[in-house]
Structure 1
């Protein structure tokens, strides 16, 4: 929580205006930015205090004034050491003003909460400004997580952030596929920071635009179809997206799995690289219907099925548990462990099925015998 403004640091005139019992007309004048003799930084601080006033007219006027501060006042305020709460207020009011945000990010008392907000919502310029301060990032690893999960952060910058954390043995638990991302980055070349986006950054952005277009056009269609022999093939309409993903590095595909569309996740969960496939199924955007589809797919890797089986959220679904037991690609130890969780009618069917592995059928029979 951002600490409140210490009234004791204000001048006597500012304290008088900020007091709840101050004359209403005095507060209304200050809320309009009229406070003769008060320096820009202190005036801005008073305005932030007035946005919490119980007087609606004062509160609303102060909010409007803060959102449209004249340049001389704003520039003057940014040249002083502002309290953390004031920095946070201005950061939220001026998200599209890079010069303002650059000065706010340089404030010695900027709060971690403000950094987290900017890292989550900032555009490319803002995320680049945050990413250059490695010392601050290592002190606040959650900021690295928010930057990584912000689509506006360049891919090359995200790679450098993962590399920074990995080299300093900082575990980013807020990234669902942290283990996969950290493992992948050790084998890749890291691009130097640059003023302009790299070709990889452009590929990442172009892929995002294509994926969004396909989502709009297909409204959740599956990305694969099976031939008569049961082999999967990418649907023709998804081939351009599939090829773009194939051109990416492992780290890039892992981040697309985290941030991309449903179609991207359904493509990447079938990736031949286990790190990518595992990252896709760990995506926080995965839905139960998608997991149900994946869990009964016999072309999915055993590692993906293992991840599903060890995720508590998905194990609340009876359909998913049943599909995992019936899927011959599910590791035997995983499938047999779930056998006792199935209904008797399903166990009878599994014990006779030709599509279930022998160890799982035997486990189903043994469990039926015990129930009898």
Structure 2
């Protein structure tokens, strides 16, 4: 948070915030009583006094959370310091009347905007996203809005499109995938009410949470050849996912739960399957199930094999070596990390590629 510039405040405010100010004066100020102080100065006083864990700080925090409307109106009619805006962002991020006025403040900076994006509701996310000039000034807000599950799907699509049209490249995992997919989609105009696709995205997300997977459960039954049969209880969710756009599926892979990801990782669209492998919410149990599956693409297995975080798990390393869909260059790199008893099993197995089997035998002989 940007510190409050006390020297920019009026004499009354400076007196209250000085080291010599008596405690009773500070407590009155914490309650919002500073005779002669302009509303913007009074808010700055409250923000400064709210720091810490004293009685004065707690009182000031309570006053900030319940600002009288005349005081708030008066403060918003002037210009507020960045530090004041940062604190107001935590209180009014979902207030659709106050939010537009905060966004118009000259001192609004990146930390405050990101705080607003992080706490945004569906409606306030739409308000922020339609302020394209502000988004282009602070494009890091695109990632925060995209990763906020309360923000509409159509809003996130427009944000990705805005970045692509303006040549902005962002580093978060979904961006490059969504940017490729968005080029082949129609971009919806901003609307007050959610679109059909917004409702589809939300409904599928809700249904996936009703169908939560047990710790080691999968959505499919799979035989040794990788042939799949979707379990009956997941059929309605699968049908909804099939109606989704590619960008909806990519965002679902990023923000959805295990049930959603275990369906999407087998999607025929490469971008969607890769989004699952790059999801920050992907758990170790999911990675174990994915790497054991012969129905996932080699691209997914390559991404996982390249991840230091995922390959810390011995079971993941073993699954990658045993999975015939793992590219040989990645499987061979993991063979030296496999235990002797597993190397013997791999050397005798007919379900792994011959090159991997021979490499396992060679590695075993080196260990003797």
**TM class by shorter-chain length?**
over 0.9
State the alpha-carbon separation in 1 of the partners of residues 234 and 367 from structure 2: 48
The equivalent of 2:29 in structure 1 is 30
Does residue 76 (structure 1) correspond to residue 79 (structure 2)? The answer is no
State the alpha-carbon separation in 1 of the partners of residues 116 and 214 from structure 2: 31
The equivalent of 1:345 in structure 2 is 341
Q: Among residues 350, 355, 360, which one is paired with 1:359 in the alignment? A: 355
Does residue 42 (structure 1) correspond to residue 41 (structure 2)? The answer is yes
Does residue 249 (structure 1) correspond to residue 245 (structure 2)? The answer is yes
Which structure 1 segments of 5+ residues have no match? none
TM-score normalised by length of structure 2: 0.95
Q: Across the two proteins, how many residue pairs are aligned to each other?
A: 367
The equivalent of 1:14 in structure 2 is 13
Displacement of 1:116 after TM fit? 1.0
State the alpha-carbon separation in 2 of the partners of residues 230 and 261 from structure 1: 23
| CA deviation map 1:307-357 (0-9, x unaligned) | 110111011111111111111111122212222222233222211211111
Q: Among residues 139, 164, 167, which one is paired with 2:165 in the alignment? A: 167
Which structure 2 segments of 5+ residues have no match? none
The answer on whether the counterparts of 2:17 and 2:26 sit within 8 Å (CA) in structure 1 is yes
* Alignment of structure 1 residues 87-106 onto 2, 5 Å: 87-106=85-104
Displacement of 1:96 after TM fit? 3.7
The answer on whether the counterparts of 1:20 and 1:53 sit within 8 Å (CA) in structure 2 is no
The equivalent of 1:51 in structure 2 is 50
TM-score normalised by length of structure 1: 0.94
1:151 aligned counterpart, secondary structure = coil
The answer on whether the counterparts of 1:270 and 1:301 sit within 8 Å (CA) in structure 2 is yes
The equivalent of 2:135 in structure 1 is 137
State the alpha-carbon separation in 1 of the partners of residues 160 and 150 from structure 2: 16
State the alpha-carbon separation in 1 of the partners of residues 22 and 37 from structure 2: 18
1:225 aligned counterpart, secondary structure = strand
Displacement of 1:167 after TM fit? 2.5
2:97 aligned counterpart, secondary structure = helix
The answer on whether the counterparts of 2:225 and 2:294 sit within 8 Å (CA) in structure 1 is no
State the alpha-carbon separation in 2 of the partners of residues 123 and 147 from structure 1: 10
Does residue 295 (structure 1) correspond to residue 291 (structure 2)? The answer is yes
State the alpha-carbon separation in 2 of the partners of residues 206 and 356 from structure 1: 41
The equivalent of 1:262 in structure 2 is 258
Displacement of 1:65 after TM fit? 1.4
Which segment drifts farther, 176-185 or 245-254?
Answer: 176-185
Closer/same/farther in 2, CA of residues 146 and 6 from structure 1, 3 Å limit: same
State the alpha-carbon separation in 1 of the partners of residues 286 and 318 from structure 2: 15
Closer/same/farther in 2, CA of residues 228 and 278 from structure 1, 3 Å limit: closer
State the alpha-carbon separation in 2 of the partners of residues 371 and 209 from structure 1: 51
State the alpha-carbon separation in 1 of the partners of residues 168 and 93 from structure 2: 29
The answer on whether the counterparts of 1:257 and 1:276 sit within 8 Å (CA) in structure 2 is yes
| CA deviation map 1:23-44 (0-9, x unaligned) | 1122222222222222111111
Q: Among residues 219, 236, 242, which one is paired with 2:232 in the alignment? A: 236
* TM-align CA RMSD: 1.8
The equivalent of 1:283 in structure 2 is 279
Closer/same/farther in 2, CA of residues 334 and 219 from structure 1, 3 Å limit: closer
The equivalent of 1:311 in structure 2 is 307
